[in-house]
């Protein structure tokens, strides 16, 4: 079964008017979000990381669990499990070393931390507030003895991480909130930290029409754009069709470094 074609442009006036007519109860929350985003953007200028950090601060203050996009406990659990099961199905072993980019409050991370050998999980995030929520998840799940690393970052240059270290790099629902320069920065540096044969999986909002964003929070890309960008940094990239069959709106791409291509 091939993935459904997605051409809807959520930033277009036509879409917004039609959507408002179909969901009048969502107009007030949308206007609140619009005002909040306008205020944050005025304060943070064109700095996307500062902007999104402020968005996460507001969302985490309102609901520390729901801030990663799943307001209900049930959905939080389901989305974490989905990510874990997928990588398990792709051969994740306890001996693997894993980097999770945009680890959030460990919705999936707590599964990985419990499964991997102690010290083998590294989570990085731009939001101090969500990393504090992540520490609470660790304590709630009694995972302290697994000694995960949770690190605040300001960019995706990965400068504090060692060469050739990670077998699996995972970024779920992070590039769906990232403009292209943020993704490009990650592509420019990911090969250095990947172990031989390692891979980097990320999800993104797929469009088969015009690329666009909604309120600088949700970005929609054509798969070809992301694959060509990865290739321009000497990486190989392919769409993960099996992920598209799962109950999740985003698509997934797997990137491998030059060493993996040669083997």
Binding site for ligand SAM (CB under 6 A): 49, 52, 56, 68-69, 101-104, 107-108, 124-127, 130, 153, 156, 172-174, 177-178, 182
Nearer to ligand SAM, 52 or 204 (CB): 52
Q: How far is the CB of 137 from ligand SAM (least distance, A)?
A: 10
Q: Could you tell me the two tokens for 240? A: 């993960």
DSSP classification of residue 217: T
In this structure, the number of other CB atoms found within 10 A of the CB of residue 250 comes to: 15
Is 107 or 260 the residue whose CB approaches ligand SAM more closely? 107
Instruction: Tell me the closest approach of the beta carbon of residue 2 to ligand SAM, in angstroms.
Output: 25
Nearest residue (CB) to ligand SAM, 53 versus 97:
53
Q: Taking each helix axis from N to C terminus, what angle separates 223-231 and 180-193, rounded to the nearest 10 degrees?
A: 40
CB of 210 to ligand SAM, least distance (A): 23
**How far apart are CB 17 and ligand SAM at their closest, in Å?**
27
Nearer to ligand SAM, 20 or 132 (CB): 132
Exposure string of 151-184, with b = 16+ CB inside 10 Å and e = fewer, is: eebeebebeebeeebbbbbbbbbbbbbbeeebbb
| Distance between CA atoms of residues 263 and 259, nearest Å | 7
Q: Is residue 211 classed exposed, middle or buried when 0-12, 13-18 and 19+ CB atoms within 10 A define those classes?
A: middle
Quick one: 56 or 191, whose CB is closer to ligand SAM?
A: 56
Shortest separation between residue 27's beta carbon and ligand SAM, angstroms? 24
Per-residue CA distances from 66 to 58, 70, 134, 147 (Å): 11, 5, 12, 25
């Amino acid at each position: 079964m091939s993935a459904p074609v997605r051409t809807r442009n959520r930033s277009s006036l036509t879409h917004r008017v039609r959507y408002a007519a179909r969901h009048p109860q969502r107009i007030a929350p949308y206007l609140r979000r619009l005002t909040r985003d306008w205020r944050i953007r005025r304060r943070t200028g064109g700095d996307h990381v500062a902007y999104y950090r402020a968005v996460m601060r507001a969302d985490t203050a309102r609901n520390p669990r729901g801030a990663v996009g799943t307001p209900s406990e049930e959905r939080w659990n389901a989305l974490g499990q989905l990510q874990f099961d997928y990588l398990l199905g792709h051969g994740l072993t306890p001996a693997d070393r894993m980097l999770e980019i945009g680890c959030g409050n460990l919705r999936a991370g707590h599964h990985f931390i419990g499964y991997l050998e102690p010290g083998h999980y590294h989570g990085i995030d731009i939001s101090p507030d969500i990393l504090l929520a992540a520490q609470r998840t660790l304590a709630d799940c009694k995972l302290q003895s697994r000694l995960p690393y949770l690190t605040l970052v300001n960019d995706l240059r990965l400068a504090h991480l060692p060469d050739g270290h990670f077998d699996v790099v995972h970024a779920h629902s992070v590039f769906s909130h990232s403009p292209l320069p943020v993704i490009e920065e990650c592509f420019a540096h990911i090969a250095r930290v990947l172990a031989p044969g390692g891979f980097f999986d990320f999800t993104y909002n797929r469009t088969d029409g015009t690329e666009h964003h909604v309120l600088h929070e949700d970005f929609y890309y054509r798969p070809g754009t992301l694959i060509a960008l990865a290739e321009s940094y000497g990486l190989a990239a392919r769409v993960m069709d099996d992920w598209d069959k799962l109950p999740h709106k985003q698509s997934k791409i797997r990137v491998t470094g030059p060493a993996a291509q040669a083997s």
